[in-house]
Amino acid sequence: MALNLRQKQTECIIRMLNLNQPVNPTGTANEEVYKMLIYDKFCQNILSPLIHVKDLRKHGVTLYFLIDKDRKPVNDVPAVYFVQPNQSNIQRIVADASRSLYDNFYLNFSSSIPRPLLEDLASGTLNSDSIHRISKVHDQYLEFVTLEDNLFSLSQKSTYLQLNDPSAGDREIEDIIERVVSGLFCVLATLAVVPIIRCPRGGPAEMVASALDQKLRDHLLSKNNLFSEGGSFASSFQRPILCIFDRNFELSAAIQHDFRYRPLVHDILGLKLNRLSVPGEKGGMKSYELDSSDPFWTANGSLEFPEVAVEIETQLNTYKKDVDEVNRRTGGNAGAEFDGTDLIGNTKHLMNAVNSLPELTERKQVIDKHTNIATVLLGQIKERSLDAFVKKENDMMDRGGIDRNELLAVLKGKGTKMDKLRFAITYIISSETIIPAEAEAVEAALIESEVDTSAFQYVKKIKSLNVSLASANSAGRNNIVDWAEKLYGQSISAVTAGVKNLLSSDRQLALTRTVEALMEGKPNPEIDSYLVFDPRAPKSSSGSSSSHLKGPFKEAIVFMIGGGNYVEYGSLQDLAQHQQPVKHVIYGTTEILTGMEFVEQLSQLGHKMGLGNSVATSSATH
C-alpha cells in the first residue's frame, strides 16, 4: 500500500469528528450524535481541502463556527474543538467553558500542546468551576495542509525571508527550524512511518534534518509512541526516504515562468487551497474547485497549455457525440419516428438515457469549467507574451546565457513589471559569468519600466559572492562560505556550480535528478556527500554519509524549506510515474508560492540590505 497522505489525514479528521472513537465500517462518524465544530483559521485551512460542508452533515456536525466569533450557548450538544495550541485559543476555550456554552468539550489540538498551556487550561477551568465540562483533550498531529494525495504544505509564511534575513539572530532561526521540524513530525506521525533522512550538508536543510532526527529518537523511546501502531504498515518492510532541501538549492524553479497547466493556473490565477475565482462569461466572478475529484485536472495538470486546449476540444466533441447518440436512440432527433413495434427496445433505450444523464451533466460541467479557465489563461498569455518568457528563460537555463539584444528586447516588450523582474533574475542565475555592462543594461531597462530592482540586486550580489567562492581554492572556499553565511544568512550554493547542469536537455530539474539518485541509493558523486540520519539506528552512525542505506527506495517524501511550487511537484510526480516499477513521491514545503510571491520575499531581503532603487515595492506587482 502506497503512502497516501490525503487519505490518512482525512481518516484522522473523521475519527476526531466521531469524538475520537473508531468510525463505522462505512468510514463515516456516528451521525446519530449531533455535535458542533469549533475551529480557528489555521485549522479551517486544514479542513477546507479535505472535507466539504455537505460532508460535515454526514459526520453528525450540525453547526460550525470560528473560535473567535461570538457564539450563543447550545445545550445537550457536545462541542468538538479543532485549534492550534496557542495562548489566545486556550483563553477562549476557558472563557467558553466558564460561560457553560456547551455541556461537553472535546478538545483537539493540531499539534502537541506544550505543558505550560495545558496547565493554563487546567487552572483556568478549575478556577471557573468548569473543568467537568472538558471531556477529552487530544493531540492530533495534523498541523499541515494536504492539497492532493502527494502534496502538502506546512502553511508557514515567509520562511525563506526569515531564514535569510541578515538581521535574524540565532534564537529566531532556531524557532523557525523548530516550527518546520514540528510540522514534518506531524506529517510522519500521520503516515505512521519513520523514514531514513537525507540532506545536503550545511544550511537550513541540515539543521532541520538533525533536529527532526533527534525529535524522532526522543519520541521512539516512549512506550506508547505514535509509530508503534504503524508496524502492520506495508512500508515497515522498507521504510521511505525523506529528502530535505533548502530553497537556495535551486532558486530558478521558484522564479521561472512555466507553461504547464497546473503551474500556470497557480501562478497566473492564484490557486489557493485548491480554489480559484475567474471572471465568468456573463460578467461577475466564478469560483471553482480544482482537486482530485476533478478528472480533467488530475489527468491533464502536467500537460503544456496548448495540449490542454486540444484536450478540452476533444472532450467537448466526444460529449456532443454522446448526447447525439442518446437523442438518436430515444427518438429525440428531428424527423425520427417512434417505432411502436419495438416497445421494449425503446423503453430500454429510454432507461439507459435517463441513467446516463447525470454522468453527461457532470462531464459538461467539468468541460465548461476548464473552457472558462483556459480562456482566461489564454487572455493573460497573449497580453503578457508569457510563451515568450517561458521559451527564453528555458533557453537561458540551457545555454547558460542569452544574446544581449534578445535580453533587452524582452525587458522592453510586453509583460507585467513582475514578469520582467522574474526574467531578469533568471538571467542572473543562468549566466555562468556576469558581464557588468550587461547587468547594468538590464538594471537600466528595469528602472525604465519602473520596476523595483532590489530583488534583482540581491540575487546578483549573492551570485557574485558565490562566483568568487567557486573560483577560490577549496581551503579558502570554506572561509568565504562562512563569511557569506554570516553576512547574508545563507549563500545561494546552487548557483555556484555553473548553472548548465541545473536543467539537462529534457528539462529535468536538479531537485528531481537528485531525488532520483537518492532513491536509487547507489554511489553517485552528486550525492555522496549528503548526510544520512536514521532515527532507528544507534546515535553514533547518524549524520555520517555512510552506505548502510538499503536502496533502492520505493517511496520518498521530498521537503523544500523556504517555499515550493507546482513546477517541482509536477516534475517529481512525472519522475515517480516513469520509473519501473512505478515509485511513489510525496512533495511538501513550508508554503506553496507563486513566482511573484517568492520574488517579493527576495525584494524584501534586498531592501533589508539597502539594495534597489527608490520605486515602491508594491509597484513591482502591477
- Which pLDDT value is given to residue 135? 93
- Give the percent of the chain with pLDDT over 90: 57
Residues contacting 267, CB < 8 A, separation 6+:
257, 258, 565, 566, 594, 595, 596
Among 4, 579, 519, residue whose Cα is nearest residue 234: 4
Joined together, the cell numbers standing for residue 595 give 513566482
pLDDT in tens, 414-435: 999 999 999 999 999 888 788 8
| Rounded distance between C-alpha atoms, residue 617 and residue 600, angstroms | 8
Cβ contacts of 120-126, under 8 Å, gap ≥ 24: 120/87, 120/90, 120/91, 120/94, 121/90, 121/93, 121/94, 124/90, 124/91, 124/94, 124/97, 124/98, 125/94, 125/97, 125/98
Cβ(586)–Cβ(412) under 8 Å?
Answer: no
Q: What is the dihedral of CA 26, 27, 28, 30, to 10 degrees?
A: 80
| Rounded distance between C-alpha atoms, residue 427 and residue 404, angstroms | 11
Cβ(368)–Cβ(401) under 8 Å?
Answer: no
Got the DSSP string for 440-472? HHHHHHHHHTT---HHHHHHHHHHHHHHHHHHS
Joined together, the cell numbers standing for residue 90 give 486556550
Number of CB atoms found within 10 A of residue 563's CB: 23
Q: What is the dihedral of CA 183, 50, 191, 24, to 10 degrees?
A: 140
Residues contacting 609, CB < 8 A, separation 6+:
166, 458, 461, 488
| Rounded distance between C-alpha atoms, residue 113 and residue 120, angstroms | 11
The 3-state DSSP class for residue 586 equals strand
Joined together, the cell numbers standing for residue 178 give 523548530
- Which pLDDT value is given to residue 405? 87
Among 383, 433, 443, 447, residue whose Cα is nearest residue 413: 383
The 3-state DSSP class for residue 143 equals coil
Query: Where are any strands of DSSP class E within 102-155?
Result: 105-109, 134-139, 145-148, 151-153
| C-alpha dist (Å) from residue 125 to 66, 113, 440 | 21, 16, 65
Among 505, 302, 512, residue whose Cα is nearest residue 394: 505
| Rounded distance between C-alpha atoms, residue 605 and residue 609, angstroms | 6
Among 76, 447, 434, 49, residue whose Cα is nearest residue 273: 49
The 3-state DSSP class for residue 522 equals coil
To which residue does cell 514534518 refer?
184
Joined together, the cell numbers standing for residue 164 give 535569510
Residue 618 DSSP one-character state: G
Cβ(142)–Cβ(109) under 8 Å?
Answer: no
Query: In what order do the strands lie in the sheet containing 134-139?
Result: 61-66, 35-39, 79-83, 105-109, 134-139
Joined together, the cell numbers standing for residue 378 give 489564454
Q: Which residues of the chain have pLDDT under 50?
A: 1, 229-236, 334-341, 469-506, 545, 547-548, 615-622
H helices of 417-565, where?
417-430, 436-448, 454-471, 474-488, 493-496, 510-520
Joined together, the cell numbers standing for residue 613 give 532603487
The pair phi, psi for residue 550, each rounded to 5°, is -100, 85
H helices of 277-416, where?
295-300, 305-329, 343-384, 386-399, 404-412
| C-alpha dist (Å) from residue 223 to 254, 401, 453 | 42, 58, 55
Rg (CA), the chain: 27
| Rounded distance between C-alpha atoms, residue 223 and residue 390, angstroms | 54
The 3-state DSSP class for residue 229 equals helix
pTM score > 0.85 for this model? yes
| Rounded distance between C-alpha atoms, residue 387 and residue 389, angstroms | 5
Joined together, the cell numbers standing for residue 381 give 498569455
- Which pLDDT value is given to residue 101? 92
Q: Is the dihedral of CA 114, 115, 120, 121 positive or negative?
A: positive
Cβ(261)–Cβ(36) under 8 Å?
Answer: no
The pair phi, psi for residue 531, each rounded to 5°, is -80, 155
